[in-house]
Amino acid sequence: MTEAAPRGNYRVAIVGAGVIGLFTACHLARAGAGPVVVVDRGWLSNGGSGRNGGGVRQQWETAATVRLARESVAAYRRFASEFGFNIWFRQGGYLFLADSAAEMEHLGRVVSVVRGEGLDARLLRPEELPARAPGLAADRLAGGSYLQSDGTLYPFPAVWGLYEAVRRAGVDVRLGTEVTGVRSADGRVAGLATDRGPIDAPVVVNAAGGWSSELSALAGLTVPNRATRHEILATEPLKPFLDPMVTRLRDGLYFSQTMRGEVVGGLALPHPVGTAQGVPSSAEFLAAMARALLGLFPSLRHLGVLRAWSGFYDDTPDGLPIVGEDPRLPGFVHADGFGGHGFMLAPAATARVARSVLGEPVDLDPALFSVGRFLGPAGQRPVEGLQLG
């Protein structure tokens, strides 16, 4: 059901009612930012926030990302008491698997960065892996890394909790409202054009996830993030046997067991870039996922699949999100490029988005997170390569 047309004037218009958009609205409402509207052409949890595996980890290659993730984990630990919704955040750890000595060297560098940020990540030998994931066939693995305080959550109550919180705080959330243009005047943002009428706002926040590059294009801005489709499935429930999220470096395989007993996971397959393909699931994915899972856990050979689906990552060339105002169009603020990891970084990253909107200092290195890093000569810049799971 679509809603009535939004009223005219707002201080901030946020495009995207997923975890990034709603957390941004929450921070702005708490800061007393004035009238805020969130618009989304779909329904709640229609985008990436309702199509993911619920992983929340702090194992990253770059220290700045580890810090955002650590702050986000702390926020999710408070979520139930703060928002009144139980997101079933379970810190069963993340177990990364390496097939080769080179991948173990990679994980060694990751563990060094994570430990440097005060977190107890550790490398594991092959014989230590089955203790973390019973039934794992570790004979062909080179080892792995593990961090106990990583975990998983249920995305749906998190989105609903944020939705109810921002509405109580006076934020106008408009679902079923499609943005058809970004309006500007005198060289800066003036608002949005939508299929339900214009919205006046001097600030527009791009939290459109996989569609964020399309929204930037509506504003006349070229950005390098692209939508890539990823598939995921859920199996029939089993007795609990697996605590951590398991992720393999070689192919991006990831899976965990929910508190209902389902095994939920995905695997990276090549798909055309962009949103035109939609979000179907494929027989190729089911076959590849079955082979990958059975190679690690032969005991799952009789396990049935209940459902499969897909969603879009919002990928950038360097694996880091884009946060902050775009210098080419004052008032247009990026909160995009999170890959498939918006949930992992949302609480902390959106606090910085809100500060940027309010004109407050932001403690993010612009060389890592600003859109400006893509506007000058290419050169060398840091890359966050752990963009899986």
How many Å apart are CA 20 and CA 24, to the nearest integer?
6
Q: Cα separations (Å) of 108 from 70, 96, 164, 255, 389?
A: 19, 11, 42, 22, 18
Residue 382 has what pLDDT? 81
Torsion over CA: 162, 170, 167, 88 (sign): positive
Picking from 276, 267, 279, the residue whose alpha carbon sits closest to that of residue 229 is 279
Using CA atoms of 373, 377, 380, 382 in order, give the dihedral in degrees to the nearest 10.
10
What beta strand segments (E) does the chain contain?
Answer: 12-15, 36-40, 55-56, 94-98, 122-124, 143-147, 151-152, 172-175, 179-185, 188-194, 197-200, 204-206, 226-235, 245-248, 254-257, 263-267, 305-315, 322-325, 332-336
Domain ranges of the chain: 1-90+150-225+316-389, 91-149+226-315
CATH class for domain 1-90+150-225+316-389? Answer: alpha beta
14 close to 194: Cβ distance less than 8 angstroms: no
Q: Which amino acid is at 150?
A: D
Q: Which amino acid is at 284?
A: E
151 close to 89: Cβ distance less than 8 angstroms: yes
Per-residue pLDDT of 233-280, as tens digits, reads: 999 999 999 999 999 999 999 999 999 999 999 998 989 999 998 999
CATH class for domain 91-149+226-315? Answer: alpha beta
Q: What is the pLDDT along the chain (389 residues), one digit of tens a residue?
A: 344 445 568 999 999 999 999 999 999 999 999 999 999 999 998 999 999 999 999 999 999 999 999 999 999 999 999 999 999 999 999 999 999 999 999 999 999 999 999 999 999 999 999 999 999 999 999 999 999 999 999 999 999 999 999 999 999 999 999 999 999 999 999 999 999 999 999 999 999 999 999 999 999 999 999 999 999 999 999 999 999 999 999 999 999 999 999 999 999 898 999 999 899 999 999 999 999 999 999 999 999 999 999 999 999 999 999 999 999 999 999 999 999 999 999 999 999 999 999 999 999 999 999 999 999 877 667 888 787 76
How many Å apart are CA 49 and CA 19, to the nearest integer?
6
304: number of Cβ within 10 Å: 6
Q: Which amino acid is at 386?
A: L
